[in-house]
């Protein structure tokens, strides 16, 4: 069990003990809705220590699923971090979180730029691309000028996409018709 007087070093040690869903859940339960503890986790998640950021990604995702408001102070950092050379787990979980958050207007441009870059890339794994697609579709609801660009990129990639890309792409294209 994690002690009550936890520090960033302690969360780091707990993350490195074991890479498992049960360990991630244990750490997330400890953090719960405590903004200070979540802040310590975010320091690790946004660091450049490969193994730590990878393992913190799952915990951040669990925490924000349970307490979405915890991520609000970190949205800009979370988005800007997507420009860095980061582990796929960090990128995937960041986009997974962002697909369920209504972003402030001030972050729309940055997120759109990053999202389109990810979606257009031939290098990104499918899961990362489909989460980026959803984030972009959510932006289109408030920024309808992005709709045509998103539609074109999805339609261009559909003939070569995986089953997951085609499924999400089809759903997003239907959604875009209503914006």
pLDDT digits (tens, 9 = 90+) for 44-53: 999 989 999 9
Q: Are residues 67 and 152 in the same domain?
A: no
Residues 72, 20: one domain? yes
First to last CA, the chain: 48
Token pair for residue 97?
A: 């979180």
Q: With a cut of 90, say whether residue 8 has pLDDT above it.
A: no
Both 91 and 133 in one domain: the answer is no
| Residues whose CB falls within 8 Å of the CB of residue 81, separated by 6 or more in sequence, listed in order | 46, 90, 94
d(CA 64, CA 147): 28
Looking at the structure, tell me whether residues 61 and 110 fall in a common domain.
no
Residues 117 and 56 grouped into a single domain: no
> Is residue 126 located within the same domain as residue 179?
yes
Indicate if 117 and 175 belong to the same structural domain. yes
Residue 131 lies in domain: 104-179
pLDDT for res 178: 87
Q: Residue 3's pLDDT is what? A: 45
Distance CA 118, CA 87 (A): 14
- In a 10 Å sphere around its CB, with 0-12 CB exposed, 13-18 middle and 19+ buried, how is residue 107 labelled? middle
Sign of CA dihedral 136, 141, 143, 149: positive
Residue 179 has pLDDT above 90, yes or no: no
Instruction: Assess whether 118 and 91 both reside in one domain.
Output: no
Quick one: 93 and 22 in the same domain? yes
- The predicted-structure confidence for 48-87, as pLDDT tens digits, reads as follows 899 999 999 999 999 999 999 999 999 999 999 999 999 8
What's the domain count of the chain?
Answer: 2
Same-domain status, 18 and 96: yes
Angle between helices 88-98 and 108-120 (to 10 degrees): 130
For residues 149 and 174, membership in a common domain is answered with yes
> Do 97 and 142 reside in the same domain of the chain?
no
Taking the C-alpha atoms of residue 118 and residue 80, their distance in angstroms, rounded to an integer, is 13
């Amino acid at each position: 069990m994690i002690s009550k007087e936890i520090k960033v070093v302690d969360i780091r040690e707990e993350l490195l003990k074991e890479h498992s869903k049960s360990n991630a859940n244990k750490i997330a339960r400890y953090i719960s809705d405590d903004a200070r503890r979540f802040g310590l986790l975010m320091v690790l998640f946004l660091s450049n220590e490969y193994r730590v950021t990878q393992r913190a990604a799952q915990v951040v995702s669990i925490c924000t699923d349970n307490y979405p408001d915890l991520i609000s102070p970190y949205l800009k950092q979370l988005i800007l971090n997507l420009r860095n050379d980061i582990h796929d787990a960090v990128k995937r979980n960041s986009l997974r979180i962002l697909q369920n958050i209504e972003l402030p207007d001030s972050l729309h441009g940055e997120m759109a730029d990053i999202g389109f870059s990810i979606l257009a890339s031939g290098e990104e794994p499918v899961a990362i691309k489909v989460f980026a697609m959803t984030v972009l579709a959510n932006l289109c609801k408030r920024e309808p000028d992005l709709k045509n660009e998103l539609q074109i990129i999805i339609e261009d990639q559909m003939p070569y996409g995986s089953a997951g890309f085609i499924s999400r792409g089809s759903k997003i294209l239907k959604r875009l018709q209503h914006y």
